[in-house]
Structure 1
Amino acid sequence: MAAPGLLPPPRAVVLVEGVSDREAVLAAARGQGRDLAAEGVAVVPMGGATGVRRHLAQVAAGVPVRGLYDVGEEDFFRRALGAGRREDLAAAGFFACVADLEEELIRAAGIPGVEAVVEQHREWRALTTFRRQAAQRDRDPAAQLHRFLGTTSGRKARYARALVERLDPSAVPAPLRDLLACT
C-alpha cells in the first residue's frame, strides 16, 4: 500500500521523448476508446532521449515500461535497455519513429490533411508567411510543415494531438499503434 499522500505506482509506464509525443499517445488511445490514466498507465515525457536511463531507474520494480523514440536517438535506448538491435527494442515494447513522431504524423495525414489542421487552428496566415521565408521557399512542403510545427512554443503538442484526432484509427502511424497494442 502507498504511504499516505503518495500515489500508488502506475500499472504501466510509457516513456516518450517530449510533450508532443505524450499528446499524440493520449490522443491515439482516445481514438481507440481508451483512457490511459484510468487504466493506470502513466505517459511520461522525458525531455529528450538522453534521460531514458534515469527515467527507467525511477520506475518501480515490476512495473512494465514501454516507449517511443526517434531513430536518431536509438543508441540511448539500446544502451539503457541492453538491447542489441531495433527488433530487441520492439520486443521490449519500445518503438521507433522514422525521423520523429511529427514526421510520422505528417506522412499519415498527408500535406492537405496537415494544411487543413493548420487552417482549423487559424494559423494559415502564419504558415503562408513562414513558407515565403527565404530559408523555406525551396523546401519540400512536408519539410516546411515539419519545421513550422516547431517554431512556436506549444505548437508541436497542439498539432500532435490534432493530427492524431484527424486520422482514422487505422491510419495512426505504426509506432503509435504498436505501442498501444502492447500497453
Structure 2
Amino acid sequence: MDEAVRFRQALVAWAAGGAEAGAAAAAAREVAAGGGVRTVVLVEGGSDRAALDALATRYGRSLDAEGVPVVPLGGATNIGRFLDLCGPQGLGLPLAGLCDVGEERHFRRALERVGLGSPVTREDLEAIGFQVCDADLEDELIRSLGADAVRRVVEAQGELRSLLTFQNQPAQRGRPVQRQLRRFLGTHSGRKAQYARALVESLEAGQVPRPLERLLAHV
C-alpha cells in the first residue's frame, strides 16, 4: 500500500477513536517517522479531495505518490482534532488545507490554538497554506465553468433528466440556476464527489478556482 494512503487511513481511524485508535496511531506515527509524508492537506469532505486529486492529475501530478495525503475531516468542526494529531503538538508535519467560507472561523481558531500563527484575515490563512472557498467548492466550480457548461457535464454523466425534474420542483422554481445546480449536486450521497471530479476535468485554462489553484501550488 502507498505510504500516503496508509497514513490517510490510519489518521482518520486515529481521529475517530475507538478500539482501533491505538493501532492506527502507531501506523500513522510509523509512516510519518519514515518520511512517507511531506505535507498533510486537511479538507472538509470527500468532494474536496476528489477535486484536488483531479486537478493534480491534470497537471501530471499524483499527490499520494508525492507524499501529500489529502485527508477529509468529515466536517469542518473536526479540524481541531486533526490539528492536534498532525500539528506542532502531535506529529509535527507540514500542513495545508481547504474550507468553505462559513467554516473559516473554525479553521482560524483551531490553527491559532495549536500554535500555527494568528490568522486574522483571509490573506493570513493563505500565507500558511489554508485556502477558503466562496461559498463552497461547488459554488466555486459552478461560477468558474458557468451554468451552461455545468449542465453539459450533468448530461455527460447521464443525469440531465434528473436535473430537469429537480429544477421543476416547486421549491426550485424561480431560483437562480446557479443555486439550483449547487443544490442538485448535494442531493444524493456521493454526488458531490462525483461532480467535483467531473467539473474539474471540464475546466479550461484560466478557469481553475483560485482556492484550488493556490492550494495545489502550495503543496
Q: TM-score if structure 1 supplies the norm length?
A: 0.94
- What code does the residue aligned with 1:13 have? V
How far does residue 85 in structure 1 lie from its aligned partner after superposition? 1.9
Report runs of 4+ in structure 1 exceeding 3 Å deviation. Answer: none
How far does residue 168 in structure 1 lie from its aligned partner after superposition? 2.2
**Larger relative contact order, structure 1 or 2 (CA cutoff 8 Å, min sep 6):** 1
Q: Distance in 1 between matches of 2:91 and 2:125?
A: 19
Report whether the alignment pairs 1:148 with 2:171: no
Q: Distance in 2 between matches of 1:8 and 1:109?
A: 39
Q: Which residue of 2 aligns with 1:120?
A: 156
Q: Distance in 1 between matches of 2:132 and 2:58?
A: 21
How far does residue 57 in structure 1 lie from its aligned partner after superposition? 1.3
Paired residue secondary structure (1:170): coil
Paired residue secondary structure (2:188): coil
Q: Is the 1:31–1:169 Cα contact (8 Å) retained in structure 2?
A: no
Q: Which residue of 2 aligns with 1:79?
A: 109
How far does residue 62 in structure 1 lie from its aligned partner after superposition? 3.5
Deviations 1:77-116 (A, max 9, x none): 1101112222111111001101000000001111111101
Paired residue secondary structure (1:8): helix
User: Where in structure 1 are there 5+ consecutive unaligned residues?
Assistant: none
When the two chains are superposed, the root-mean-square deviation of aligned CA atoms in Å is: 1.5
Q: Distance in 2 between matches of 1:62 and 1:28?
A: 27
Report whether the alignment pairs 1:18 with 2:17: no
How far does residue 169 in structure 1 lie from its aligned partner after superposition? 4.6
How far does residue 32 in structure 1 lie from its aligned partner after superposition? 1.1
Q: Distance in 1 between matches of 2:104 and 2:205?
A: 26
Paired residue secondary structure (1:118): helix
Q: Which moved more, 1:78-87 or 1:98-107?
A: 78-87
Q: Which moved more, 1:164-173 or 1:90-99?
A: 164-173
Deviations 1:14-56 (A, max 9, x none): 0100100110011111111110000000100101110111111
Count of paired positions: 180
Q: Is the 1:19–1:157 Cα contact (8 Å) retained in structure 2?
A: yes
Q: Which residue of 2 aligns with 1:130?
A: 166
- What code does the residue aligned with 1:63 have? L
Q: Distance in 2 between matches of 1:8 and 1:171?
A: 36
Q: Is the 1:28–1:169 Cα contact (8 Å) retained in structure 2?
A: no
Q: Which moved more, 1:62-71 or 1:97-106?
A: 62-71
Q: Which residue of 1 aligns with 2:31?
A: 8
